[in-house]
C-alpha cells in the first residue's frame, strides 16, 4: 500500500505540476495576447490618427489652393476689366480730342480761306478803285 500511495502522490504531483504549467502557459498566452492586442490597437489608432491628419491637411491645402485660385482669377478678371475700361476711356478721349482738333483746324482752315477770300476781294476792290482813279486821271488830263 505504501508504494501505491507513493505512486498516487507522484501522479498527483505530476497532475498538479501539469495544471500549474498549463495555467502559467495560459496566463503567459493571455498576457502576450493582451500586450499584442494593445500594441495592435495602439498601432491601428496611430495609423488612423495619421490618416485623419493627412486627410485634414489635404482638405485644408485643397481649400486654400482653391481659395487662392479663385481670388487670383477674380483679381485678374477685375484687373482685366479695369484695364479694358481704362483703355476704352483713353481711346474715346483721344478720338474726341482728335475730332475736336480736326474741327478746330477745319474751322481755322475755313477762317483762313475766308480771310484770304476777303483779302483778295479787298485787293480786287482796291485795284479796281486804283484803276478807276487812274482812268479818271487820264480823263482829266
Q: In this structure, is residue 88 part of a structural domain?
A: yes
Q: Per the domain annotation, does 46 fall within a domain?
A: no
Is 141 domain-assigned? no
pLDDT score recorded for residue 15: 83
Query: Would 124 be classed as within a structural domain?
Result: no
Please state, in angstroms and rounded to a whole number, the distance separating the CA atoms of residues 31 and 53: 32
pLDDT at 3: 60
Asked if residue 75 is part of any domain, the answer here is yes
User: pLDDT tens digits, residue range 100-109?
Assistant: 888 888 888 8
Residue 78: inside a domain, yes or no? Answer: yes
The residue range of the domain holding 61 is 56-107
Task: Examine residue 48 and state whether it is found in any structural domain, yes or no.
Answer: no
Please provide the DSSP assignment of 23-75 as one string: HHHHHHHHHHHHHHHHHHHHHHHHHHHHHHHHHHHHHHHHHHHHHHHHHHHHH
Residue 72 domain flag: yes
Check residue 20 and give its pLDDT.
Answer: 87
pTM: 0.42
Tell me the per-residue pLDDT of 34-80, one tens digit each, with 9 for 90 and over: 777 777 777 778 888 888 888 888 998 998 898 888 888 888 888 88
Amino acid at each position: 500500500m505504501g508504494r501505491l500511495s507513493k505512486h498516487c502522490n507522484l501522479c498527483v504531483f505530476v497532475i498538479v505540476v501539469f495544471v500549474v504549467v498549463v495555467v502559467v502557459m495560459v496566463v503567459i498566452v493571455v498576457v502576450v495576447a493582451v500586450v499584442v492586442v494593445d500594441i495592435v490597437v495602439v498601432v491601428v489608432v496611430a495609423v488612423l490618427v495619421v490618416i485623419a491628419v493627412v486627410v485634414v491637411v489635404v482638405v485644408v491645402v485643397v481649400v486654400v489652393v482653391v481659395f487662392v485660385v479663385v481670388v487670383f482669377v477674380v483679381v485678374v478678371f477685375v484687373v482685366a476689366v479695369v484695364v479694358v475700361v481704362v483703355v476704352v476711356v483713353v481711346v474715346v478721349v483721344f478720338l474726341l480730342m482728335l475730332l475736336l482738333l480736326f474741327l478746330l483746324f477745319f474751322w481755322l482752315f475755313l477762317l483762313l480761306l475766308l480771310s484770304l477770300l476777303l483779302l483778295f476781294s479787298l485787293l480786287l476792290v482796291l485795284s479796281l478803285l486804283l484803276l478807276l482813279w487812274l482812268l479818271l486821271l487820264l480823263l482829266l488830263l
